[in-house]
């Protein structure tokens, strides 16, 4: 099938970013992925979020350089894990590309995700995760899906002790993003 596709960017920077994403996608399919340069990453959502500790690897399988994120869970994930997040539905995980969905990333969302980071969130989501149940980037699709569903949908690795009713409010009052994230992961009410 042949056809023509017209892409229109609103700025020179956006055009350069789209060109880099298309080139990376083509190279990946051809088996020779060339990553964006450090200079190209500067001042992009991907570049800003990669600076946060833990965000250099997928929150679920540990694959290097994740380019997707679950904006409601606050984690960066690789393409393979992003597929499972999408399968779970938006009531559990809202997945966005850090390279393609440039209009989705408000400054406040980027700030919030940068303040949390994969390391801090995994401390909450995986507090009771036995080492032998961790998955790696080479996990099968079935292993990946089972792990991610257990982690987020069933909260299998989250401690079962009750969350104090005021934990979320206290964390918000003292601007403790990590404490707020932990309280939410453990089931704190936003009411």
Return the pLDDT at 12.
81
| Residue 34 pLDDT greater than 50, yes or no | no
Question: For the segment 85-144, what is each residue's pLDDT rounded down to a tens digit?
Answer: 999 999 999 999 998 887 889 999 999 999 999 999 999 999 999 999 999 999 999 999
| Residue 35 pLDDT greater than 60, yes or no | no
Query: Model's pTM, two decimal places?
Result: 0.79
Question: For the segment 13-33, what is each residue's pLDDT rounded down to a tens digit?
Answer: 777 777 777 766 665 665 544
Return the pLDDT at 31.
53
Return the pLDDT at 65.
94
User: How many other CB atoms sit within 10 Å of the CB of residue 127?
Assistant: 13
Is 117 within 8 Å of 43 (Cβ atoms)?
Answer: no
Return the pLDDT at 24.
67
As a whole number, mean pLDDT of residues 158-172 equals 88
Return the pLDDT at 162.
82
* Lowest mean pLDDT across 15-19, 47-51, 64-68, 159-163: 15-19
| Residue 57 pLDDT greater than 60, yes or no | yes
DSSP 98-164: TTT-GGG--HHHHHHHHHHHHHHHHHHHTTT--GGG---TT--HHHHHHHHIIIIIS-TTS--SPPP
Question: For the segment 69-79, what is each residue's pLDDT rounded down to a tens digit?
Answer: 999 999 999 99
């Amino acid at each position: 099938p042949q056809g023509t596709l017209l892409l229109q960017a609103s700025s020179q920077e956006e055009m350069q970013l789209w060109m880099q994403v298309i080139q990376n996608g083509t190279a990946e399919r051809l088996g020779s992925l060339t990553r964006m340069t450090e200079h190209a990453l500067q001042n992009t959502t991907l570049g800003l979020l990669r600076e946060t500790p833990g965000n250099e690897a997928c929150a679920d399988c540990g694959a290097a350089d994740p380019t997707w994120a679950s904006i409601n869970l606050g984690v960066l994930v690789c393409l393979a894990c992003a597929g499972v997040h999408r399968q779970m539905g938006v009531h559990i995980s809202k997945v966005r590309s850090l390279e393609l969905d440039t209009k989705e990333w408000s400054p406040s969302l980027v700030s919030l995700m940068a303040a949390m980071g994969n390391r801090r969130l995994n401390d909450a989501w995986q507090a009771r995760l036995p080492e032998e149940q961790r998955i790696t980037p080479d996990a099968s699709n079935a292993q990946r899906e089972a792990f991610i569903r257990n982690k987020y949908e069933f909260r299998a690795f989250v401690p079962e002790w009750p969350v104090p009713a005021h934990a979320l409010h206290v964390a918000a009052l003292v601007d403790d993003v990590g404490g707020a994230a932990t309280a939410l992961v453990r089931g704190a009410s936003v009411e």
